[in-house]
Amino acid sequence: MLDKIINSAITKEGAGARLEDDNNGGTLVLLAVIKEKLPDGQNLPLPPVILAELGKDPQNPTLCFYGHVDVQPAKKDDGWKTDPYTLTEINGNLYGRGATDNKGPVLAWINAVETFRALKLAMPVNFKFVIEGMEEAGSLGLEKLLEEEKQCFFADVDYIVISDNLWLSNSKPALTYGTRGNACFFVEVESGDKDLHSGTFGGIIHEPMMDLIALLDSLVDPTGHIRIPGIYDSVAALTEEERKLYESIEFDLEEHKNNSGVKKFLYDTKEEILLHLWRYPSLSIHGIEGAFHEPGTKTVIPAKVIGKFSIRQVPHMDLSVVKRQVVEYLEDVFSKRNSPNKLKVSMPLGAEPWVADINDPLYIAARRAVKTVFREDPDFIRDGSTIPIARMFQTIMQKSVIMLPIGAADDGEHSQNEKISRYNYIEGTKVFAAFFLEISKLHGQLQETSNTKTDN
């Protein structure tokens, strides 16, 4: 049935091919087809985004669930013990590409919905589904679709749930309430239009590489502290409530170190490590374009080199302020070198950080659901990397977002032998079902309070 709809939709022109399917208990399925303009002018249709809704009870809150069904590439030869595209259970683990990222959680959510229908229980919430197929390629087209549909398909959404990340631990559940942003910088230093011979010009020119190396070296001190003046000014102060969250978090520091391959971290305690991964900015230098990068030797003085670094920013750092601080600082460092070369600093990519209020009904409901199923409180965690989806939904819909993972830290997303455990899959499904009830109850109470207030 779905195949037929998709095939029908992708043959149509333009975005938002709308196909109603009223025979299926009030479900509406839309296939949104976004076209991507290629450099040659051709319009390429992207894999369609499935938009579906179930239930329209005005008494119920409407949950928007985001997931994706595209996966990272996988071949048996890469080192898989089983065929990556045949789900295979071994010792309680379900192995297969997409098992945890993100087909497993998508199916668990659908299973939770089905359970209510199978038991003929009243559905406590209304649903909107957004299931895309371009997540691993940067969710191309999704932002445009959300913008286009926010007043239509998404008009009555109250809460957004994303289940596309992992717990921090192999065994303890977690709720994710923040991700860092990512501001990528290019530092270009140019002396002219041709590379020079180090015999013929070495010793008499200001080499662009020397300037660039000095600029890059000015960014961070050996303790990991970013030297750019003002860069820490807007970093949210650590509150006592927040600091306490870190104490109970289950995080195997030793295992994380082993995973990294490094001998020693910059900090010694679990708390310091997590604080610096999640809620303080970091700066990494990725490489240099235009210089000699091959094995062996070459006696070249490159004429134009581009250093690449990025800053993982955190609330409440403002991208445009960060950009200005970086540019001004590097221009200042450069000016002190009296170099005749040309400097150009740019920020080709900038993604904002995201942070949620852990006292939002979404988090209260999810915490209760986890407690009901797992008999323990979840860890409240963040992610040091950048997941633009949460921020995108929050900004466009102006509704609160929760990241509610059900996979364990060792699931191996993007790796060989990706898995989700049967335990996590089933208990995760239960968490979702319990969450429907909890958020419905909380939402009702909030409405009541709000109505009472209005009555007064």
Q: Catalytic residue positions?
A: 70, 135
Cβ proximity to its own copies: between 126 and 339 the closer is 339
Q: How far is the CB of 361 from its own copies (least distance, A)?
A: 28
Preceding omega of 102 cis (within 30 degrees of 0): yes
Instruction: Report the run of H or E that residue 311 belongs to, with start and end.
Output: strand 304-312
Q: Strand 35-37 and strand 28-32: pairing? A: unpaired
Q: Which residues contact 227 (CB under 8 A, 6 or more apart)?
A: 218, 219, 220, 221, 329
Q: How far is the CB of 160 from its own copies (least distance, A)?
A: 22
Instruction: Report the run of H or E that residue 452 belongs to, with start and end.
Output: helix 422-455
Q: How far is the CB of 425 from its own copies (least distance, A)?
A: 24
Q: How far is the CB of 322 from its own copies (least distance, A)?
A: 15
Q: How far is the CB of 403 from its own copies (least distance, A)?
A: 14
- Spatial separation of the C-alpha atoms in residues 288 and 170, rounded to whole Å: 37
Query: Encoding tokens for residue 358?
Result: 């852990």
What number of other Cβ atoms are within 10 A of residue 31's Cβ? 23
Cβ proximity to its own copies: between 10 and 220 the closer is 220
Helix/strand/coil for 19: strand
Write out the DSSP string of 398-429.
-SEEEE---B-GGG-TTSTT-EEEHHHHHHHH
Report which of 164, 192, 150 is spatially closest to residue 104, judged by C-alpha positions.
164
Cβ proximity to its own copies: between 87 and 253 the closer is 253
Cβ proximity to its own copies: between 232 and 423 the closer is 232
Could you tell me if residue 263 is left (phi over 0), alpha (psi between -120 and 50 degrees) or otherwise beta?
A: alpha
